[in-house]
Amino acid sequence: MTPKLNYVLFSTSTIFFFINLLSLSLSDPRISEAGLFCGHSRPPNVNTFFTTFSQAMETLSQLVTANQWGHNHVNSTTPVYVLFQCHQDLSHTDCLLCYAASRTRLPSCLPATSGRIYLDGCFLRYGNHSFYNESIDPNTDSVICSSEAIGSSDFGKNVELLIDNLTQTAVSNGGFAVMEVKGVYGLAQCWKSVSSDGCRDCLAKAAKEVTNCAPSREGRGLNAGCFLRYSTDKFYSNGAEEVNKHSGVSVMRIALAVALAGTAFLMLLFFAAYAGYARLSKMKQERSNLGQVSLSYNESGLNFKYETLEKATDYFDPSRKLGQGGAGFVFKGTLPNGENVAVKRLFFSTRQWVDEFFNEVNLISGIEHKNLVKLLGYSIEGPESLLVYEYVPNKSLDQFLFDKNKIQILNWNQKYDIIVGIAEGLSYLHGGGRIRIIHRDIKSSNVLLDENLAPKIADFGLARCFATDKSHLSTGIAGTL
């Protein structure tokens, strides 16, 4: 065996050793979904409710970043109350990861006026009433038992002993406890908004029901005010053990750094490959969340950097807000070349909003008409999706028609020109371009007016393509209620 081959084999084995050490230090935000429950009632005004939900979640995000839990509410026609909490054993970073996962999945309940999601590491809930002190909810409290069973005759007794000691410890320990009894591991967590009596009642109910899961290998109690879980696998993080583990890993890393002095070049290649793999994985995840993105978009020059649009809007400063709707807020932005644009900031990652986002990009990126708002680009790189349009200074037609403090009173000639312009824009959509498009949500708030009061049709999220031989008539409901 040649020295060169020995060198490569040594380097390769060292790298695999290094990877194993890295895996020891990786944390677990426990984002597996334990339960998702959506209400059945709907708000009277869906668009207003979406906007209120976004506002409530925006403030909640700030509280979670600072405290790893929080609750908030926004008053409106239909108010929105929100609550989030991580399990106490999660690190700050893992808590934020768990929050991000729950924040992405829970909006699938919309437009229902209530919803809650239990991940194995955290809990997120919204509703149209103050539920912060609720410990038990007979309509939604549930128990999840795994299908795999343990054959040991003592297993049920061990589970019962664990849960009994675990819940008592949690009640006397501020609402949180982890414990192991004869190979069975458990975690109990009450929400901080619940009183000590409420915590006791919640865990008592969960304990009674989860105990009946045995001989199942795992059981989870998902109550309004608490979470209870047991498993034959150790799923929680223990503070003392985590400190020791990280300390040990640090010592090994130092020793490993000395051992790798002669393999710096190969390690550099490894890290480059790993960084490339991580980037590809991230892109793949983003695409799976946002839907399949055509490569032609990236080649078309429509793609903006998220940071560029952040700076253009002064980091979405409230003073630059032009308006808001069900999908998010619209801000005025100024690009580095001095061009003014309108940036639509979308908050949702549900399949519905993903479909509408890419539908709008796909439909209007290739059409141009004097009575249609022009799409200048988009961004899918940041925490939310962004659409960039030409800036139309006189805002929307509804503000000229229905606002109590009207910007300007339109005379008949101006109204006539606006009507004709809208008709010309619709005529072009219906048959004047290379594809036939039906807008499906024409209303005064979706008609913008430029500096000369010429109309421009906007908001193509609900638009659909139709073949020339197909009718636009449909029994499906679309557009504004």
Task: Tell me which residue has tokens 């003073």.
Answer: 319
- Within 10 A of 173 (CB to CB), how many other CB atoms are there? 11
Beta strands in 355-421 (DSSP E): 375-379, 386-390
User: Which of these, 246, 150, 135, 147, lies nearest to 190 by C-alpha position?
Assistant: 135
441 is annotated as an active-site residue: yes
Give one DSSP letter per residue of 247-279, joined into a string.
Answer: HHHHHHHHHHHHHTGGGHHHHHHHHHHHHHHHH
The one catalytic residue among 120, 441, 450, 469: 441
> How wide is the angle at C-alpha 353 spanned by C-alphas 351 and 355, nearest 5°?
65
Report yes or no: 198 and 224 within 8 Å, Cβ to Cβ. no
Give dist(CA 243, CA 139) in Å, integer: 41
Report yes or no: 357 and 310 within 8 Å, Cβ to Cβ. no
Give dist(CA 396, CA 282) in Å, integer: 38
Q: Using alpha carbons, list the distances in angstroms from residue 451 to 39, 379, 382, 425, 446.
A: 45, 27, 32, 18, 17
Q: How many distinct helices (H) and strands (E) make up the chain?
A: 12, 19
Q: Using alpha carbons, list the distances in angstroms from residue 182 to 185, 189, 234.
A: 8, 21, 12
Radius of gyration of the chain (CA): 28
> How wide is the angle at C-alpha 248 spanned by C-alphas 15 and 27, nearest 5°?
75
Give the residue numbers annotated as catalytic, written as ranges: 441
